[in-house]
Structure 1
Amino acid sequence: MEEQHLKYYSHHLERDVDLLIYGNWGYPILVFPTTLGRYYQAKDMGLIESIRPLVESGKYKVYCVDSIDADSWYAKHLNPQYRVLNHNQYDQFLNNELVPHIRNACNVEKVGVAGCSFGGFHAANFAFRHPEQVAYVISMSGAFDIRSFTDGFYDDTVYFNNPVDFMPNEQGWRFGHMKIVLGTSEWDICLESNVKMSGILNASGIDHWLDIRGWEKHDWPLWNKMFPDYLSRIM
């Protein structure tokens, strides 16, 4: 399986952002790491190996991006206002720099996004904020209410990064092109969050798949089973 390490300079973040890229061609999937995770986490934890046949056959090209969680949501040394503003810079990097680069490199109009746990939040939040950029969303054991990271601070920047707040007010037709998977399990600590998000999408008439698996915990063995299954089904 072809692997490439890329340092992408972001003008929004004013730093290099590391990525690992798997495959030479195929539909692009942007993968976000879990809490405070790095760009190599998906490789280290077996998520990339779980989809090896799909990558080697040319169905998918996978981009594993670094996070800036330590400078945003998990930056407890910063005022909550600046945590959210830092995340907004990351969102601008994704929306204005990295995703257009991926679209051009792969000659597609839209990309797929995926992630586990906090990466599931990142994937869903980006897709729901920018539906014009995304065709496929795979959130595995994600949670979708970011207010626990803002210590009571709340303004428009929090609102527009909090899917449980802004999605009930969105027009469902904007997401009609999008295939959305919310994966969870009966023992998942984020089960309730996924059921709630599914209810919000249903209320707006947004088609999606809420997949609740049995007797699996919030951990990599579950996600390594889910990811190849979802990629095999959604295309």
Structure 2
Amino acid sequence: MNTYKKSVLLFIICLIAFIKANAAVVDTVITHSTSMHKDIKTVVIKPAGYSTAKKFPVLYLLHGFSGNYSDWILKVPAITKLADQYQVIIVCADGNFAGWYYDSPVNKDWQYETYVGTELVNYVDKHYSTIANRSGRAITGLSMGGHGAMYIAFKHQDTFGAVGSMSGAVDIRPFSDAFGIEQVLGKYSEHPEIWEKNSVINMIYLLKPNSLAITFDCGYDDFLYQVNLAFHNELLMRKIPHDFTVRPGSHTWEYWGNSIVYQMLFFSRYFNKIK
């Protein structure tokens, strides 16, 4: 091999090494839920330059109704670039196609609040180099996952310091006969008190001003726009600081792919402020 070919080969090898060192790594891992007695898949995105010599903040990203843990990485693969840009580990959790991120009082096989809010967090902190406290954790999601993020963060403020929602079902009561919620909470007509207690809009009393960094948004043409607007107004009335954004758009992946860019900036500012 002549000198020129050796130089080209060396350049290619170095280029491949550089690309690998400067690109996020996407893992699909098997986690275990003791509360549900089963294994559950999770996508974990490690940013470029990930090393156990450094502690990284973590964003937990939740899918919507009828989805699963792989939705975000398949529909919005650009989230890997956000992990790189902001040096954040992204964890795409599974909340069952219609688990609603509740610990179901009527179906003991669905305990997704405990799984995402406790078991998964413990797994991630054990297996990855994380900032293992609320100052290094945020949670957000779309639609059902937007509800789930708010619900879990409100109830686990010792675990999460920042929360977001994209087109979130922050009030489930208008959908008592839709999206499988009655499979998780029971029929609204038979258990109205459970529905009232577990609607995020009715849980604002759990918050104190600035106890959580809060951001949420919704498209103006989204069928969930009105419940998000009502949620915003309730937070204003209770003097809970938050960011609320309305953009053109509806209940689509195009909207959420755009939304996560702005939410990641919000969470990065939170992580950097805490340091």
Structure 2 length as normaliser, TM-score? Answer: 0.73
1:22-101 equivalences in 2 (<5 Å): 22-24=45-47, 25=50, 26-46=56-76, 48-49=77-78, 51-57=79-85, 59-70=87-98, 72=99, 82-83=106-107, 86-87=109-110, 89-101=111-123
1:19 equivalent to 2:42? Answer yes
Amino acid at match of 1:135: G
Q: For the residues of structure 2 that align with 1:114 and 1:127, how far apart are their CA atoms? A: 9
Q: Is the 2:219–2:250 contact (alpha carbons within 8 Å) kept by the matching residues of 1?
A: yes
Amino acid at match of 2:39: D
Q: For the residues of structure 2 that align with 1:158 and 1:130, how far apart are their CA atoms? A: 19
Gaps of 5+ in 1: 74-79
1:138 equivalent to 2:164? Answer yes
Provide the secondary structure at the position in 2 that maps to 1:82: coil
1:153-172 equivalences in 2 (<5 Å): 153-154=190-191, 157-167=194-204, 169-172=205-208
TM-aligned CA deviation for residue 190 of structure 1: 1.0
Shift in alpha-carbon separation, 1:146–1:217, aligned structure 2, 3 A:
closer
Amino acid at match of 2:254: P
Amino acid at match of 1:218: H
Amino acid at match of 2:245: D
* Matched residue, 1:219: 252
Q: For the residues of structure 2 that align with 1:95 and 1:81, how far apart are their CA atoms? A: 17
Amino acid at match of 2:246: I
Q: Is the 1:170–1:204 contact (alpha carbons within 8 Å) kept by the matching residues of 2?
A: no
RMSD of Structure 2 on Structure 1 (CA): 2.3
Q: Is the 1:33–1:67 contact (alpha carbons within 8 Å) kept by the matching residues of 2?
A: yes
Q: For the residues of structure 2 that align with 1:157 and 1:103, how far apart are their CA atoms? A: 32
Provide the secondary structure at the position in 2 that maps to 1:134: coil
* Matched residue, 1:179: 213
Amino acid at match of 2:167: S
Larger radius of gyration: 2
* Matched residue, 2:8: none
* Matched residue, 2:20: none
Shift in alpha-carbon separation, 1:100–1:205, aligned structure 2, 3 A:
farther
Q: For the residues of structure 1 that align with 2:211 and 2:207, how far apart are their CA atoms? A: 13
Provide the secondary structure at the position in 2 that maps to 1:227: helix
- Indicate the structure whose relative CO is greater, using CA pairs within 8 Å and at least 6 residues apart: 1
Q: For the residues of structure 2 that align with 1:228 and 1:20, how far apart are their CA atoms? A: 19
Q: Is the 1:7–1:16 contact (alpha carbons within 8 Å) kept by the matching residues of 2?
A: yes
Q: For the residues of structure 1 that align with 2:94 and 2:117, how far apart are their CA atoms? A: 15
Amino acid at match of 2:255: L
* Matched residue, 2:140: 114
Shift in alpha-carbon separation, 1:157–1:98, aligned structure 2, 3 A:
farther
Q: For the residues of structure 2 that align with 1:36 and 1:229, how far apart are their CA atoms? A: 25
Shift in alpha-carbon separation, 1:181–1:171, aligned structure 2, 3 A:
closer
1:201 equivalent to 2:201? Answer no
Amino acid at match of 1:229: Y
* Matched residue, 1:77: none
TM-aligned CA deviation for residue 170 of structure 1: 2.7
- Equivalent position to 1:125, from 126, 132, 151: 151
Q: For the residues of structure 1 that align with 2:65 and 2:245, how far apart are their CA atoms? A: 22
Gaps of 5+ in 2: 1-23, 51-55, 270-275
Provide the secondary structure at the position in 1 that maps to 2:139: strand
Q: Is the 2:28–2:43 contact (alpha carbons within 8 Å) kept by the matching residues of 1?
A: yes
Q: For the residues of structure 2 that align with 1:8 and 1:157, how far apart are their CA atoms? A: 29
Equivalenced residue count is: 221
Shift in alpha-carbon separation, 1:189–1:155, aligned structure 2, 3 A:
closer
